[in-house]
Structure 1
Amino acid sequence: MASKGIDRRDEDEVCPVCKSSRYLNPNMRFLINPECYHKMCESCVDRIFSSGPSNCPVAGCRKTLRKNRFRAQTFEDIGVEREVDIRRRVMQILNRREEEFDTKRNYDDFLEQREEIIANLVSRTNEAKTNAQLAKYATENEQSIRANLALEEQEATSFQARMTLEQEEAQRRRQIARQEYENERRELQAGREDMLSRLASGTTADANAIARESSKVHLKKSSARRSEEERIRLKQAALRGSETKRGTPLSNSEIAGAADSGLIKGLKKIKTPELEKPYDPFMGLVPETRDYFTLQESYPSTFLERQRQNVQGSAGGYDLREYYSRTMLEAFAGLGVFVEEEVSKREAEKSSKPTATEGAAIAAASE
């Protein structure tokens, strides 16, 4: 009869290498390798793979296995175990996020494509081609994959911290409620004892006044307690908001990588910021292009009006707008230039020169 802690199906497990069964050895531990998912006992793994990598001892399997890859089986069905491992590996490589795509439809197409890749690897359909595509994508987008993994880890850490904070707040609220209940019970008991003692020492006419006074004191304490609870609740909400802001995830600009790849379509184009060019006050050699004034078609002036009506000057190639442009440029050329500050700065630089240099200059001039 099987023991209480061992399943009947576990007793029937037999190592394909040494043919030992758990029925004869209840402490036998089976291990699997994700290269081929063939199950064998721990003693055979130590005996065969302790000296280095070796071929799988199961007949027909030619996979090269290593001892550090062996692990205990998580699921009872080997097919489920293999599918979970494949899904974990593919999702670590194809870990694009929704905000990296132009539209929701493109993100849905990416999810469908990822499920098709997983299905092909599980069913061993075009397995070599699919693995080659995954390896190429992982090589080309290594930086974005690492950034998304770091972002997922940051989100998981912030979620765990938020859950811990909520549990601590719930425990603190329960403790405060328990303490308030005890304080209220003690106050109520003390109020009753005080009222009974006053009724015992007083007269019958004072009974109603004593009862009303006791009820008024009780209501005042209850109102003060409720206001204190509201204040504590608002303070906790403010603290929770600050903790949420502190755990803000990385922005899209911090996720670096290729804007598009041969495997995934519909990704947003990453725009590299242009370098800031030095400011050119003359705006190059393009005439009538200034950012500090706008050139008009004409300006009210008696002299300029006569020149505009001069046909001989226009026939010779003279354009009045060139005069307008030159005049406006000269008018605005001195804005932002402070001559007094520049002169004082130049004088300060001259006075800061060493005395020996000035003496040598005077001596050279005299000679």
Structure 2
Amino acid sequence: MPAFDVDSQSPGGSFEPQPADNWSMPLGAIAGIRLYISYSVFIALAVLTGLVAMVQGREGNSDLPLVTLTAVTIWFFGWGVQLLVHLCLHYWTDAKSESITIGVLGVEAANPLYRRYPWTAVANLMAACFSLTALVIFGAACLAVHMLTRTDGYADATLWLRELATPGLGLDAVANCYLTAAWLFWIQAACQAYPLPKNLGRGALASVVVLLAADADDSLQLRLLRRLLQFVSLITVVIAMATLIADGDVNLPRWPILLLLAVALWVSTRKSDLHDWITSVHIAGADPISAHFDVTELRESDLDAPVTRPSGVKPKRTPWISEMIDSVRMRQKRKRVRAAMRREHEEASDAARLDQVLQIVSEHGTEGLSAEDRALLMRVSKNLQRHRQSHADGETDSR
């Protein structure tokens, strides 16, 4: 029987990388990795350009376009840092990538089931931690350069704190570009660490839950992940309230932004991508071939229902019908994969208890078995019958 890729986006089995949610445009490729840029980047640039155009005519804003251009360049450089980290991980670790999408915050964490080769929990953590650490280090280096060039007593720690406490993040003059770079790198790292959808922190948090609750089943891990995200949301609300008190009568309060982030995170806890993160990590951990990023395949005979493939020439379909049918097929394929993984987990748990049940039978007979033990023996018997039948069918097909 033909094989198909578990994590391919094509319902028929072949892998064709696609930009997430059709909300990005291709830029080209680097070392065989397709690059996309999200349309949200162009929207953000348009909004920023409009704001600068409206206020640059006011007194004291003559250098605002140059300052804005400097800040945008620094922000783009942060994207480059994240992209470089992912390229290094692609070549020297198991965190392989077929495509990378650049969003407003930098590299986006796409739906993990769209990857041809699923990432392990360690790979997800490496991608997030290395990217965030690189941004923090670059920010610290820029702050050090700023202190060396702008102040005389750079060895005094109080001067460093005073520079960081300067309002405006150094955006008041182009001469403070290194201070601006430090703040923008750190802001970019903080935003990527916040576990909203498509942020690096979301996949890292899901991986931490899987690692710390390795003995729990999928549903429990999913509940733990949701509760953890909701806890982070509540902490953000508390920080927003504290910021409301601390800001006082500032012109641009920070608490509405924090409150908006908290609400967005709370709402996102009901999204299906959380289950996809848990499932992808389990797939990578359960399949040693997949864990080393070779071709990941499941044969149709290993699943409950075979994948039907049309023979001959496919009839022409309108685009929206084609997308709908492909979406249904993808849902069915993912459902079968999850069912297969759940069945494997149940069989492994039954096998671990089977020796104890057999020991009870040898000592006390079947009368000493509880209802749960009898149910376990029934499941094991059915599994053996199913495996024997599958083996017999395979031999018949080979003949």
TM-score range, shorter chain: under 0.3
Between Structure 1 and Structure 2, the one with more helix by share is 2
Structure with the larger RCO, 1 or 2 (CA within 8 Å, 6+ apart): 2
Which TM-score applies when normalising by structure 2? 0.18
